[in-house]
A and B are shown apart, each in its own frame.
Chain A
Amino acid sequence: MISLQGVTKSYGLGDKQQKVLDNISFTFPYRQSVGILGPNGAGKSTLIRIIGGAEKPDKGRVIRTSRLSWPMGYSGGFQKTLTGRENARFVARIYGADYHEVEKNTIEFSELGKYFDRPLETYSAGMRSRFAMAVSYALDFEYYLVDEALETGDARLKEKFRQVFKERRMTSSVILVSHNEQTIRKNCDVAAVLFEGKLHFYENIDDAFLMYRKIIFAGRAA
């Protein structure tokens, strides 16, 4: 289970303090794909960081009893002086996964060939993001954290990863944040809107879009 309990987070100090997340309680449904919509600056990335434990909430807590991924495709956690294989093993170790299997899957997904045994600092930007995405898919999680800004790769690889993602969606849960309706429609079963620190949940995706559009237009009018 992944559950937020009274999560509150503010940024800034004194008078300029702004509540980004305001007493949010929410349990992410099992084996469902939840899309979280929010305009830019609504606190989507903060929410992802808090769910994943990269940041602590000011108040409340996050319960993680399921195998949760790090944000898919995020490569910041890798050590550049180490090879792709060594980095893949590191990830396998912290998740207690069989590292032969993780290595094998990473090689297959990333198509890095001999570069798999070279330090990450020798990779191009494209190769690095390919590697990060491949490692993310090399393990199986119960919950996948996705920040849409992280989608990368050429058209063919994108299609390949999209295919894998579709398969995983059937057996796992997904938490995806985005400001893009299309991304949510394609990948999610239910949706929530993050607005003014609150998370509004909708069983029906279209209802979420309705509210989201209202916010966007109200923002433009003002």
Chain B
Amino acid sequence: MATLTGQVERDSAFVIQCRVLYALILRDIKGRFGGRRLGFMWAVLEPCLFISLFVLMFQLIGRTSQAGIEVPLFFVTGITPFLMFRDLFGSIANETKVSSPLLMFPQVSKTDLIFASLIVNVLVSIAVFILLLTGCFAMGYTFIIDDPLRVLITLFLLVALGLGLGLVIGALTIRYEFVSSLSQALLGRPLFFTSGLFFTADILPPKVREIALYNPVLHGIESIRSAMFMSFESRYVDLTYVFFFAVALIAFGLMMLSFFDRQSR
């Protein structure tokens, strides 16, 4: 038998947390994508299917560009960031509401689980985004990224929105179970159609636009497209609004979580 010495090194809380995060991330990636699992395939395939469908529809009505952006690129830059936001908010909500058996390990906390899930989701989404943009490039839809820093900032804000919304929904679900299904009906589908995946804010009638612009995700998508392409610049983007919206959601979510988590079950 191997030597089991009683000697134990004390690690700082920070070192322990990094170790736990690393272990959780590896575990998550292996569980989802390892072996014969089709996790990554599906992560690429889902946006591909959506995008192909809408590109095909636009082709049938004879459109080759939308707001000065070639149709495939228009959808890649709309649908992929949106799916990142949607998947992130779903996973975070799930991680937040359940009492994971992993919590039985003394050094694993809910915060660790939420962070690990955030990191894995973002890594996968960014990989898919780059893959699809490369795919477009290879098919001859070339472009030069207009403002890479702004692309990153916008993606970061969308991640913050996803985290915040996930925390709020997840924390509320701990106490009020119906919130989970309600959020799907009231948030999932409607956001899909109102976040500018298929349109730009500019083509909306002014009255509709005014209301639509309360949706921070629409600002995000408009901002991504503006940052990506020189031929498009939205006049309606307000990233400060998105920032404060995200901060408010995260703060509210964390508050609810610390409140409901203690009194669960």
Contact = CB atoms under 8 A, between A and B. Distances in A.
A and B from one complex: yes
Given A81-B31, A82-B30, A93-B19, A53 B109 contact: yes
B48 interface: no
Most chain A C-beta atoms within 10 Å of own C-beta, residue among B5, B9, B37, B104? B104
B2 interface: yes
B190 interface: no
Report whether over half of chain B's contact residues are helix, strand or loop; otherwise say mixed. loop
B104 A94 contact: no
B27 A77 contact: no
A76 B26 contact: no
- Chain A residues touching B, majority SS: loop
Interface stretch (A32-40, A67-75, A191-199): A67-75
A90 B27 contact: yes
Interface in A77-131: 77, 79, 81-82, 86, 90-91, 93-96, 101, 104-105, 108, 119
B16 interface: yes
A74 B103 CA distance: 12
Interface in B84-125: 99, 101-109
B216 to A, nearest CB: 32
A11 B263 CA distance: 8
Contacts of B10: 65
B105 A70 contact: yes
B4 interface: yes
Chain B, interface residues (CB within 8 Å), range: 35 or more
A53 B30 contact: no
A102 to B, nearest CB: 9
A76 B4 contact: no
Interface string B217-249: 000000000000000000000000000000000
Interface residues of A, number: 40
A82 B37 contact: no
A96 B31 contact: no
B151 interface: no
B20 interface: yes
Contacts of A11: 265
Contacts of B263: 13, 58
A13 B176 CA distance: 14
Given A74-B104, A82-B34, A56 B19 contact: no
Contacts of B105: 52, 70, 77, 91, 94
B70 interface: no
Contacts of A171: 6
B207 interface: no
Interface of B: 1-2, 4-6, 8-11, 15-16, 19-20, 22-24, 26-27, 30-31, 34-35, 37, 99, 101-109, 261-263, 265
13 contacts: A54-B104, A65-B10, A71-B104, A76-B101, A81-B31, A81-B35, A90-B23, A93-B26, A94-B19, A94-B24, A95-B107, A104-B2, A105-B2
Report, nearest first, the 8 A-B pairs whose CB atoms are least far apart: A76-B101, A93-B23, A54-B103, A140-B4, A68-B106, A70-B104, A94-B23, A53-B106
